[in-house]
Homo-oligomer: A and B are copies of this chain.
Amino acid sequence: MAKDKKVEKITDMEEDFAQWYTDVVTKAELIDYSGVKGMYILRPYGYAIWENIQSMLDKRFKELGHENVSMPMLIPESLLQKEKDHVEGFAPECAWVTMGGSEELTERLCVRPTSETLFCDHWSHVVHSWRDLPKLYNQWCSVMRWEKTSRPFLRHREFLWQEGHTLHATAAEAEAETKQMLEVYAECCEKWLAMPVIRGRKTDKEKFAGAEDTYTIECMMHDHKALQSGTSHYFGDGFAKAFGISFSDKDNKLVTPHETSWGMSTRIIGGIIMTHGDNSGLVLPPRIAPIQVIIVPIAQHKPGVLDKAAELQARLKAAGLRVKTDDSDNSPGWKFAEYEMKGVPLRLEVGPKDIENGQCVMVRRDNGEKTFVAFDELEAKTAELLDAVHDGMYAKALKNMEEHTYVAHTLEEAKAIQEEKGGFVKTMWCGDLACEMRMKDEAGMSSRCRPYRQEHLDDKCACCGKEAKEMVIWGVAY
């Protein structure tokens, strides 16, 4: 019964991308629906992807001097209200605890949508002297945003993330931290997830509630829509002032410190699916795949086959790889389909004939390419092939982004591109909110970012024709 379900075909992505996405998420056993709308269960395979991303990011954060902490999940309403822009941005989406046991609370408590207010409150207790700075903190937790619509990984009412919060003696130091952490996210996407990114700064309209500046990495999905994949915020001293944080500097003068925060969430798993997936299911980047190599024994009842499979598994495991053998009584064909659905980067087939020839067959998930690998080259070739899969996936995603990024000189042109082809549209911009709103209202695109890599396309703003300040990338975003 379970078998039949799995060989059922998923919807073609060209036919209905949204349905394809939902099919992949459920049939690859990443997620189950819970009894509360917008809250999802991360099943073992889905959670294992997050664990791998988490362990690599956590290591990187610590190398850069950050320490993990744990803040409460509830924020008193009065604390949330201390920074005015911040509360305006988040209060409409807060879930509120109003009862403890059978008693009504005297002040309602919001389930954290983000924890800037909690970190600031804590720092106001413990930061006194320049010796106490910088504070380089991070926490792994879940946050809650009571949104109307929801979608697995992309928009949860509760989602897992990490939130970094740092406090610095000077603005320059805080700005450097903000940019450094964006670069950590960019490298995570490029080097571990095989996702090319555009690095840039958000416009004032799109920045985080309470921030002076928000830096972002933007990725293009297979359907040419954008996914904001990680953000890093520079707060100046706004929060510190609102929360009364100050310190004595080396000259014994009382100074206000500067703050940053930065986050990446399970949303990125939605990005992985929509960047790399195909009509056979998930395609996972090798460096974070829960299973990197699936061994499928062929004619496994024949003598020696399962022994050889076990030997190869032990060797690959000893080489530090995540490897599994499926010796269940399902057919090889069923197994091929199953692990293609689950996006395992490499399949290793080994049968009696292979053993005779002293070799096995390796099949790449990203392009189906077969390679014969001699047993005595197993470890080296497997590592090479995994790198090749990574590189191939990155190149394919980059090609998709480059081929669907266009230049427009007028709003009409931008609109036509969006309607006919989709993708990213680059235009010059005067910096006015009014023009940004027109692009949204008339062409259906939001500003994704003001990219680090500026180009001079024109002298004039594509919307109003006034003098242009900078280039913006526009797109339709998840």
Contacts and interface: CB of A to CB of B under 8 A. Distances in A.
A98 B94 CA distance: 11
A97 B100 contact: no
Interface in A97-144: 97-102, 108-109, 111, 118, 121-122, 125-126, 128-129, 131-132, 137, 141-142, 144
B67 A44 contact: yes
Interface in A1-35: 1-2, 32-35
B34 A122 contact: yes
A60 interface: no
Contacts of A36: 72, 74, 76, 109
A47 B32 contact: no
B93 A146 contact: no
A60 to B, nearest CB: 16
A58 to B, nearest CB: 9
A128 B142 CA distance: 30
Given A44-B137, A69-B41, A95-B97, A2 B121 contact: no
Contacts of A92: 101-102
Contacts of A100: 95-96, 146, 157
A123 to B, nearest CB: 10
A11 B221 CA distance: 60
B121 A72 contact: no
Contacts of A160: 70
Given A68-B48, A68-B51, A158-B73, A32 B146 contact: no
- The main secondary structure of chain A at its interface with chain B is mixed
Contacts of A433: none
Contacts of A2: 128-129, 131-132
Contacts of A101: 92-95, 146
A242 interface: no
A126 B30 CA distance: 12
A217 to B, nearest CB: 24
B67 A48 contact: yes
A449 B245 CA distance: 49
Most chain B beta-carbon neighbours within 10 Å: one of A41, A79, A108, A158: A41
Contacts of A132: 2
A38 to B, nearest CB: 9
A40 interface: yes
A101 to B, nearest CB: 5
A71 interface: yes
A430 interface: no
Nearest to A66: B44
A72 B129 contact: no
A39 interface: yes
Interface in A151-188: 157-158, 160
Contacts of A158: 72-74
A72 B34 CA distance: 7
A103 to B, nearest CB: 8
Given A40-B72, A97-B97, A100-B157, 17 more contacts: A32-B125, A34-B118, A36-B72, A36-B74, A39-B74, A41-B118, A42-B70, A44-B137, A47-B68, A47-B70, A48-B67, A48-B68, A73-B73, A73-B144, A73-B158, A74-B158, A92-B102
28 contacts: A1-B128, A2-B131, A32-B125, A34-B72, A34-B121, A35-B76, A36-B76, A39-B72, A39-B74, A40-B72, A41-B70, A41-B122, A43-B126, A44-B69, A47-B68, A47-B69, A50-B70, A73-B111, A73-B144, A73-B158, A95-B97, A95-B109, A96-B97, A97-B97, A97-B111, A99-B108, A100-B146, A111-B111
